[in-house]
Every structure is written in C-alpha cells, then in structure tokens.
Amino acid sequence: MTATRETEPWAALLQTGRADERLIHQTVHGPRSAQLAPIPSDLAQEVRTGLARVGIDALYEHQAEAVQAAFDRSVVITTGTASGKSLCFQLPTLELMARDPSARALYVYPTKALAQDQARALAAFGLKRAIRPAIYDGDTPRAERATIRRRANVILTNPDMLHVGILPHHHAWAQVLQDLRFVVVDEAHTYRGVFGSHVANVLRRLRRAAALHGSEPRFLLASATIANPLELAQRLTGVEEFELVDNDAAPQPGRRIAMWNPPLTDEELGLRGSPLYEAAELVAELVSRKARTICFIKSRKAVELIVRHACALLEPALAARVAPYRAGYTPAQRQEIQRRLTEGDLLAVVATDALELGIDIGALDAAICVTFPGTVASLKQMWGRAGRRGRGLAVYVAGEDALDQFFCRHPDQFLGRPVEAAIIDPQSPEIYAWHLLCAAHEAPLGEADAPILGSSWREHAEELARAGYLRERLTGFVPKRADDYPAARVALRSASAETFALVDAGSGELLGTVEATRAYGTVHEGAIYLHLGRAYQVLALDLPARRVLLEPFDGDYYTQARRETATYIERLLDRRETLGLILSFGTVVVEETVLGFQRKRVADQEVIDFTALSLPTVELQTRALWYELDGLIEPGRLGSPRAREPFPIRRLLGALHALEHAQIAVLPLIAMCDRWDIGGLSTNAHPQTGGPTIFIYDGHPGGVGLTRRGFDQFERLSADARALIGECPCRSGCPSCVQSPKCGNLNEPLSKTGALELLRRMGA
C-alpha cells in the first residue's frame, strides 16, 4: 500500500467494500498540471487590475484562446468542471465594458442560483465604474426593472424570463438591444430535448429583436464536455460561424473512482438492496472521517431519505454538519447551505442536480452519484466536484435499473465511454409553431426573417393563419387578436401548450402542470404521482376543468397504468437496409388509451389489485424509427441468410416486446435523454408494414430528434441492447435488462431468450 493510499480518509471504506464485493471496480486518474498563458498585454489596465484583485496572474491556455477568439467570432467553450470556463466570457465582457461605456451584454443561465453566483463573481473584480451587473428574473422587484433597463450593462437572466418578460416587451428594451454586443449562454449542455428546442427558438427571437434595433450580438457559449458542442451551439443559436475551444488546460487533482453495487437480495428476480441506504452509509462513513462530501440523487424525497439515514448513523455533533439541498427551499435557505458548505461548516450535503451546475461551493473531497443521472456527461460533471484540495474520491452507486447494471458489468467501458450528444430540434413542428406565433406578436413576420427564423417560416405562418391564430397584412403576418399574449401560454419545459394543473386538494396550492398528452397515463384517478420527488395520490382527474386534485401520499405501494397503443405511419422520411432488416424513419401518429392500473407493493413488487378506468384515447403526432423483421423471422424473406429456420410464434410477441424495451433502455447512451422521453410499440403484424415491426418514438409532440439519432446509429443501439440482455445473470428477464418501469402492458409478455435470438440473427 502506497503512502498516498494510507493517507486517504476513505481507504478503510474501500477495503470493506472490496471484502463484501459491493466495490466492484476502482481506478485512479492521476493529477494533471496546468498549461498556462500570460495575461494579454493589450487588456485595459482597469481589467488587469481587476484580475489581480481576484488573484489571477496568468490564464489557462484555453482561457487565453477563448478570449482572443471572442472579439472575432462567436465561441463555444467545452472543458471540464472547475476549468475556469466563466473567465472565458467574463474577460471579453470586462474588456468590452472598460473600452466602450455604451456596450451591453446579456448573460443567460438555466437557473436563478447560477445567475446570482455569477453576479457575485463579477462584483469581485471591483470594476464598479466599468461594469454594472444586475439580475433580471421573476424575483426582480417591479420598481427596479426600469432602472435595470436604463443603467445595467451586464444583465443576468434565464430563458424563461427572456421568453415571457423581455422579448414580448422588446420596445422597452430598445436601448439595451441596440447596444447589445455579447450574449453569454452558460451551461449550454443543459439545453437539450424539449427544453433545448424551446430555448433555441427563444435565442432566435432574441437575435431577431436585436436586429430590429440595429445590432448583431456575438454569442459566447460555455458547456460541460459533450460529443457535439459545435453542432449544439449552431442549432441553439442559428449562428453558423462558431469557434470551438475544447483543449482543457486546467490542472486536475488525483482522483480515485469507485463503482459500488448494492448486494443482490433475490438472485432469481434480480432484486438488489436499496442504493439509498448504501449511499447513506457512504456519506456517514466519509463524514466520520472528516471528508467533505457531496452526494447527488435525482429526487427530493430521496435527498431527504439519505440525509435521515446518514444522520441516524452519526453522533449528533457530526449529524448537525450534514444538510439536504433541493428544490422547495427559499433562496435564503439555499444560499445559507451554500455558504456553510463553502466555509467548511458543513461536512456533507445531499443534493438534487441543482448543485451539479457551476455554482461555487468550495473545495470538496468526495462526490457520490446515486444511480445513473441520465448521461455520462452529467456523471462526470458531478464527479468533477471532488478533489479540489489535491485528492478526491468519486463514487457511483448503482441502482437496479437496466443502465445501472449494464454499467456495472462493463466498468472499464463505462469509465472510458465517450460523453453523449446533446440533441435538440428547433424545427419540431409544435414547438416551432408556438414560437413563430410569439415572434409575430413581437413584430410582423416577413421575408426578412428567413435568415434567422428559417426558410419554412411562411409555410408555418400560413398554417397558423388557417387555424385562426395569425392574419396576413401588408406589413406581414400579425396576431389575429391584438390583445393576445402567446408567450404566456408556452411553457419552455413542455412540448405541448395543453396542460393539466396539479392542485393540492388540502391547501389549494398549484403544484405544477403536466402535459395533456401524458395526463391520462400518469395522473388518472387513484394514481400515485411523484412531483419534485414527493409522492401524491390523485383524488380526481377533472377533464373539463383540466385540473388534477392530489393529496400527499406515504403508503407502501405504487401504481402502473395499463395502456393499449396503436401506431400509424404518416410519412416516410428516410429508409435503409441494415442487419438483415428494413429500417425506417418518419412521422407517426400514436394512439394511446389507458385501460386501467394496478397497485404494486414497493417491498416485493407484488401486485395488489387491478382497477379498470374509462378514459378518452389520446393522439400524439411525433417522429419515430421502425424496423420490419420479416427477413429474420421467415426463411427466404428479403434473402436474409440469418433466418434459416422459422421463429417460434409462441415466443415472437415476447421477443419483440423485450427487444423494444432493451433498445429504449440503451438509447440514452447515444442521445442525452431519459427513457421517459421515449416510447415504443412492438407487434407481430402491423397493418401498414404487413409483418412483425418494432416502433421507437419520441415521447413529445412533433419529436425533438431523439429517435433520429437512434436511426443514424442503429447498429450501435442494437449492439448495446444485445450486451444489456445477454450479460444479465437473471433467468428470464428482470428490471436490469428487459423489464421497463414505464411499460404500458405491465411487462407482459416478455421473452429474454427470444430477444437474444432476434439480435443473434441480426448479427448485432
């Protein structure tokens, strides 16, 4: 054992994990020294003084490269956690303001907390004469808003406020937009899927509003490491000319990475111990060793459970130094937790992904991620929080989900796996149409808008006119109703404008909303619904009022809806032959009817009962990939040599169903998404294809590009699915391979061996 290893406060913990086989893999990433560049000599003296004030006497090479490029073209910076990305856009802003008192900059952050953190960072330079930063979001007092528009030259906001509070009132922002030179989009990797597709349209509307007032701002984007930073920057902004800065020259501490798998409690069913209890034990052990720790978990409820269990294992004095951090706290409460963590008063914080982003919380020793956070990029972002004091421990605690267990069986491949691509589709029909309506409210739509809004704007505008939303005048397309305010009806985190309100039946409080397309399957009467990590039981689904009444729930069961689904092909967009089958991509209509739901005990997954429901059929128009398997099922079809004998019909439905589940489970490895963003259907005889067919579709109206990615990389998707199923030790299928928590048919029928036979015939 080396001297370094002996001094690590987690050495005994890892030794225990090895002994009882919960620690399934560990590796060490060695330290890396910084590559430095001098501060540019031509920076304004005021800016050089500000840098000295915050202790910066040299730049990392990537910072110097980004600063130089920012004055020539738009830039996207993608480097690791704690690599100083903020300075890459702070320095150009400071230099611009120091030399041009009239210039303005707009900083866009995905959360209010990040904007507040950046405002503090800008103030630390002490350049009060040059920069006048101000936060403009929903919490900004109305009495201060006119002053901010008039006086502030660095305005920090978020996409929601830009969408609903700034762009519809762009005439009040005329001076800001006229002098706008930089638009900074931080944490750009968070803008993906539905949210990213909305934000891409908001940023195009911002470019359009700036052009109306005579400016063409340069965009500076900062992102965690992703597979397609240039593509994302271009699709987010509509700007073609970007320079990529991705040579991370920041120092990195040595970091030990450990993969932790809870023990099997039922080998036949594939059930494992709770990852929450495992995480609580890890947190308690690290706190007892005085290792400063952050632990990430997706839901608010899980945050509280881990804190409760960890504190129960600690003496009171140490338990008082462990805190949760999640949505639902006041800004003052969150800032107090951040302060205590930064100053070392707290030894551990258990948080949702709100602290994954670039908020400064000081130097930490250990970072624990409980269950796969959805993307390798997010996991690495979370792990990057550890080790800022020269040593670090990064732990991944697996759950029983298919991806978690897939990674546990491939630790080396997992740790070396490239990060995913962030997928957005600004032209997704429903999303694009709503933002075109918002743009028409801001200024009449005309031919001059094509370079920013896209060449298909007129086609969509005419369709909106036929639907009664717009009318064409000599000045262009304008809203049919002058008093309309479409931005208020468009929620950036939803693909559909039609929603149901979630209301606490006891207090009358509005908890949130759920898309109409998902309501029947998730908030039907009797459903157990998780909202921001808290469990509720649905008392009533009021269809005419579009309202859902809920009450808090602490029972020991959950619900699963049974659905009947049909898929109809509307338009073929692409097709190719691969792996002995015909693979297609296009637009489809998915019809879904919720037939009822079953209650299942949490402890053993035992079905308690089934309740029938009578609900309307919902239609979803979206995009999908689908493939026809005739050539693998029947000998001689399509001339495929792989189908040498007929496929047993008794296994066919279960095989198709299991293969569909497995490919949906691994699609997030290719596109940055969650399995809940994707739907599927398998049938042994589809009326349009005439044979066995599997559909995988985007679960959002119009689609957002997820299944297009699956179509393009179908061979990899199939290979990952084969590894997922084939290497799972269960006998006949479990939650770690072919069972799905969102299955509309309640995971019936499923044939693990049948799916493997299909994949074998495909040669995947």
Mean pLDDT value across residues 7-21 = 88
In this predicted structure, what is the pLDDT of residue 279?
95
Find the helix packing angle between 112-123 and 331-342, rounded to 10°. Answer: 50
- CB-count burial class (<10 Å; 0-12, 13-18, 19+) for 646: exposed
Look-up: residue for tokens 């659905």?
Answer: 563
pLDDT value of residue 438: 97
pLDDT at 389 over 70: no
Q: What is the pLDDT of residues 662-708, one digit of tens each?
A: 999 889 888 877 777 899 999 999 999 999 999 999 988 888 889 99
CB-based contact 580:638 (threshold 8 Å) = yes
The DSSP string of 443-493 is S-B-GGGHHHH-TTHHHHHHHHHHTTSEEEETTEEEESSTT--GGGG--TT
Q: Which residue has the higher pLDDT, 510 or 206?
A: 206
Residues 566-613: tens digit of each pLDDT: 999 999 999 999 998 999 999 999 999 999 999 988 766 788 999 999
Which one, of 77, 74, 195, lies nearest residue 672 by Cα?
A: 195
Q: Spell out the domain ranges in the chain.
A: 3-16+253-415, 36-245, 429-489, 499-555, 562-762
Residue 347, helix vs strand vs coil: coil
Rounded to 5 degrees, φ, ψ at 314 are -115, 155
**pLDDT given at position 639:** 42
Task: Report CA-CA distances (Å) from 236 to 149, 188, 240, 425, 532.
Answer: 25, 9, 10, 9, 27
Residue 1: is its pLDDT beyond 70?
no
CA distance 482 to 355: 42
CATH number belonging to the domain at 36-245, selected among 3.10.20.600, 3.90.1300.10, 3.40.50.300, 3.30.300.20 = 3.40.50.300
Amino acid 88: pLDDT: 96
Residue 705: closest CA among 228, 109, 354: 228
CA 617 to chain centre: 29
C-alpha 668/C-alpha 370 separation (Å) is 17
Could you give the 3-state DSSP secondary structure of residue 190?
helix
Of the pLDDT bands very low, low, confident and very high (cuts 50, 70, 90), residue 4 is: very low
Question: For residue 557, what are the CA distances in angstroms to 15, 387, 529?
Answer: 36, 40, 11
The pLDDT tens digits of the residues spanning 615-640 come to 999 888 999 999 999 878 765 444 44
Between 156 and 340, residue with greater pLDDT: 156
> Which of 604-608's residues contact partners 24+ apart within 8 Å by CB, and which partners?
605/269, 605/271, 608/557
Tell me the C-alpha distance between 562 and 596, whole Å.
Answer: 5
pLDDT for 752 equals: 93
Residue 269 pLDDT exceeds 80: no
Q: What is the mean pLDDT of residues 18-40?
A: 91
**pLDDT in the model for residue 31:** 82
Q: β-pairing, 348-351 with 293-296? A: parallel
Buried b or exposed e, range 458-467, using 16+ CB within 10 angstroms: bebbeebbee
List C-alpha distances in Å: 659 to 149, 578, 579, 664, 735: 56, 16, 14, 9, 14
Q: Pick the more confident residue, 106 or 544.
A: 106
How high is the pLDDT of residue 388? 58
Would you tell me the crossing angle of helices 112-123 and 85-99 to the nearest 10 degrees? 60
Q: Give the pLDDT confidence score for residue 356 in this predicted structure.
A: 52
β-pair type (393-397, 366-370): parallel
Mean pLDDT of the chain: 88
DSSP category for residue 289: T
Q: What is the CATH number of domain 3-16+253-415?
A: 3.40.50.300
The stretch 461-489 carries a mean pLDDT of: 92
Close Cβ partners of 314 (under 8 Å, ≥ 6 residues apart): 284, 287, 288, 322
- Residue-wise pLDDT for 108-156, tens only, equals 998 877 888 889 899 999 999 899 999 999 889 999 999 999 999 999 9
The Cα 135–Cα 116 span in angstroms is 7
Whether the link from the prior residue into 735 is cis, omega within 30° of 0, is no
Q: Of 492, 463, 461, 490, which Cα lies nearest the Cα of 477?
A: 461
Would you state the pLDDT for residue 86?
93
Which of residues 302 and 2 earns the better pLDDT score?
302
Domains 3-16+253-415 and 36-245 fall in the same CATH topology: yes
Give mean pLDDT, residues 61-81: 94
- Please tell me the least confidently modeled range out of 209-213, 663-667, 744-748: 744-748
**DSSP assignment, residue 763?**
T
Greater confidence (518 vs 698) lies with 698
pLDDT per position as a tens digit, 393-445? 999 999 888 888 888 888 887 787 777 788 899 998 889 999 999 999 999 99
pLDDT band at 32 (very low <50, low <70, confident <90, very high): confident
